[in-house]
Amino acid sequence: MHGRPRKAPTPEEENASSLKATKLRSLQSQFLQNHHSKNYTKEALEISAKLLESNPEFYTAWNYRKLAVEHNLKQSETGTDPDSIESIIDEELRVAESALRRNFKSYGAWYHRKWVLRKGHTSTDRELQLLEAFQKRDARNFHAWNYRRFIAALMDRSDAEELLYTTDMINKNFSNYSAWHNRSVLLSHLLEKRAQGFFPKEKVLTDEYDLVHQALFTDPDDQSGWFYHLWLLDQTVKVETPLLISSWPANGVDLNVSSDSFPLILYFSEAVEGVNSSTISVESAWDANKDLFWRPLSANNSGSAQAWVAHLDFPNEKPESLKSFPVKVSLGHSQGIVSSNGFHYAHPSCFEFTVCVRPQNKEHDPRQSIEMISWRDENFHVNETHFQVSSDPIKYFDQLKIDENSEPTGSKWHLKTIANEIALFRELLSEINCKIGKLTLARLLTAHDAMMPYTKSPDAYEMIHFEEVLELYSNLMKLDPAHSRYYKDEYSLVLFQQVASSRESLLKHCFLYGGSTGSSINNYICLRLNNLSLSRIGSVQKLLWVQMLDLSHNELQSIEGLEAMQLLSCLNLSNNKLGSFTALEPLRLLKSLKVLDISYNEIGAHSVDTRRYLCSSPLSHTAGSDWNFDEFAVSGVKVTNYWEAFSIFKGLNLTQLDIVGNAIPDEKFKLFLFRLLPSLKWLDGEELH
């Protein structure tokens, strides 16, 4: 076990094992005969008891005993001997205890003991003594800790009493991960209830930091205390009630549009549900937007999401000249928006913008003027003057109006605590080379920077520890190659945070697109985040305004998060590590997408697609059952072979698609795409006729 070579058994051991197997087969044969004939006599129960004492993992025998208990209790309750009920229960507890002494990690035995005690025919007084005996053998046995929580609830023991027990167990052995975990569960309950002695939260958490420091500095190589410290850090920085942290349009934007509608996007600090016309007030000059339909932007089709979208419609009549319409969006003035933890949105906030509707040329056929978009470097340039004009969306960077009475995320205590932890772990790491210590320091530095905007104005946000955090993650990738993928993802998230931390840092990656003369997207602002070795997408809440995005030449295996960027029209994902069409599922929600480059990835190169069962398929009884493949059938092509691509691209109005350089089929697949995407004009750089 755990890498040790298996020792060959001696002849004596082989003989003993053979005799044991023969005896077990005999017991099993007798047991199954009794089970099938529903024989619940005392002799039959003794056979099952012997079988379970030899093999506590024989689940069928535990189920048989449950049936026997139900049968015998029913007979006893109709009789006149109350002692018989007690004897039945005591015998079950004895058998379970005997099985646990044989294997105190037996799921079946622990579950059976719980089942018996739930009957309510016996006392629970002895259970804590039994648990102590088992926990002396293995203080970290999670079965025993789980059973203790069950017994504590039956005995109506308070969380405060149980917390004292975890303190005793931790003081005996700092390496008791189960005790630390149980402590976090109990403290969560006590803090949530604001129980006596556990409020204010700051005082409790300060004491907990002192406790875990003793463990960490006594044995820095033991992970138990580090995991508890991570839980404490989460308790320190998290905001319990959800916040609106971004929107599109941003506050103060003067938006020029010429289409019939445009998306209104709300981005929250965590996934929420309950976003609808009764919880979101939209005031505009036309009545059509009073009862908006809000849709969660979640790639997994759940009813909750961080980002929500509704579409504002314009008046039916088309203006002959530019017309302006003010819009005000308010939320938090009534309850209904709720996080997954059950907390209500309670921070009244609002933002206002102006929509300027341009007249449309009715004779204009947009498809006739479509030009191929080229992602070559020479087509992108910087124009500082352009970025200063009033229509520049970056000018309105991070300007939400939150009620002044709202509680800020970063208070003095929070920042002081994080700063103190940073100082302690820098001192520790100056003496030892500890991987989990470096990871914790990186998290602390990131948390400190994330809290700074709430102590200053939003425009003063600065990641002062940016370079140090990236250096820590780079070092961890070398020190711990087995987990390098995780460190790489965290590195990428920090890099995204730095890019989006301020208007100035964002502008360094913004370029104007200037393709062929007359191109409809000339002077589009393109956010170019190519060649940054990114493996994960982050800080999307700061990028809701982006219409053209270049993520080429990175290491992306997933594009989770892009679904919130509803304005995306042009997207370059070429030269990444996307392994399948199902990795592109967020694209299904980007209805404005026209240009997509997924060339030179790894689509089709992997025999096993680990994401395909996260994506809706025609193999499901619920998803895809309404798909009409016949409509897109091509001679000689079995369309169902391409259901992953079908699920992603159906419903999109792409005019340009590049897929060359992937291990996907040949001309038949291209014929299928041509039928599936009637708006497509350019495929792999060639114009379709």
Q: Where are the domains of the chain?
A: 15-174, 244-364, 367-390+509-689, 409-454+463-501
- What are residue 248's DSSP bridge partners? 265
Q: How far apart are CA 520 and CA 523, in angstroms?
A: 9
> Residues 394, 545: contact at Cβ < 8 Å?
yes
Identity at 210, one-letter amino acid code: D
- Decide: helix, strand or coil at residue 166: helix
Residue with tokens 């001696």: 10
Q: Which of 477, 550, 538 is nearest to 512 (CA)?
A: 550
pLDDT value at residue 241: 87
Residue with tokens 């003989």: 15
244-364 and 15-174 share a CATH fold: no
> Residues 358, 256: contact at Cβ < 8 Å?
yes
Q: Do you find a cis peptide bond into 665, omega within 30 degrees of 0?
A: no
Residues 374-431 pLDDT 10s: 999 999 988 766 665 545 666 656 555 444 444 444 478 888 999 999 999 999 999 9
Q: How far apart are CA 280 and CA 292, in angstroms?
A: 9
- Decide: helix, strand or coil at residue 248: strand
591 token code pair: 């209805």
Q: How far apart are CA 473 and CA 489, in angstroms?
A: 9
518 token code pair: 């007359």
DSSP string, 474-517: HHHHHH-GGGHHHHHHHHHHHHHHHHTSSHHHHHTTEEEE--ST
Please tell me the class of the 15-174 domain. Answer: mainly alpha
Burial class (CB in 10 A: 0-12, 13-18, 19+), 599: buried
Which backbone phi and psi does 461 adopt, to 5 degrees? Answer: -60, 130
Q: How far apart are CA 662 and CA 575, in angstroms?
A: 10
Which long-range contacts does 49-55 make (Cβ < 8 Å, 24+ apart)?
Answer: 49/95, 49/98, 51/24, 51/27, 52/95, 52/98, 52/99, 52/109, 53/95, 53/98, 53/99, 53/102, 54/20, 54/23, 54/24, 54/27, 54/102, 55/24
Residues 311-322 pLDDT 10s: 988 766 655 656
Q: How far apart are CA 76 and CA 595, in angstroms?
A: 76
pLDDT value at residue 612: 54
- Decide: helix, strand or coil at residue 257: strand
Residue with tokens 């062929």: 516
Q: How many helices (H) and strands (E) does the chain have?
A: 18, 19
Cα Dmax for the chain: 99
Name the CA dihedral angle for 435, 438, 443, 445, rounded to a multiple of 10 degrees. Answer: 180
- Decide: helix, strand or coil at residue 276: coil
Burial class (CB in 10 A: 0-12, 13-18, 19+), 464: exposed
213 token code pair: 């420091």
CATH of 367-390+509-689, one of 3.10.450.30, 3.90.1150.10, 3.40.50.920, 3.80.10.10: 3.80.10.10
Which long-range contacts does 47-50 make (Cβ < 8 Å, 24+ apart)?
Answer: 49/95, 49/98
CATH topology of domain 244-364: Immunoglobulin-like (2.60.40)
- Decide: helix, strand or coil at residue 450: helix
* pTM (predicted TM-score): 0.84
Residue 478: CB atoms within 10 A of its CB come to 9
Q: How far apart are CA 657 and CA 392, in angstroms?
A: 28
124 token code pair: 């629970």
> Residues 640, 618: contact at Cβ < 8 Å?
yes
pLDDT value at residue 406: 45
Burial class (CB in 10 A: 0-12, 13-18, 19+), 138: middle
The parts of the chain modelled with pLDDT lower than 70 are 1-6, 79-83, 259-260, 287-289, 299-301, 315-322, 359-369, 384-410, 453-462, 515-522, 607-640, 665
Q: How far apart are CA 313 and CA 263, in angstroms?
A: 9
Q: Which DSSP category does 48 fall into? A: H
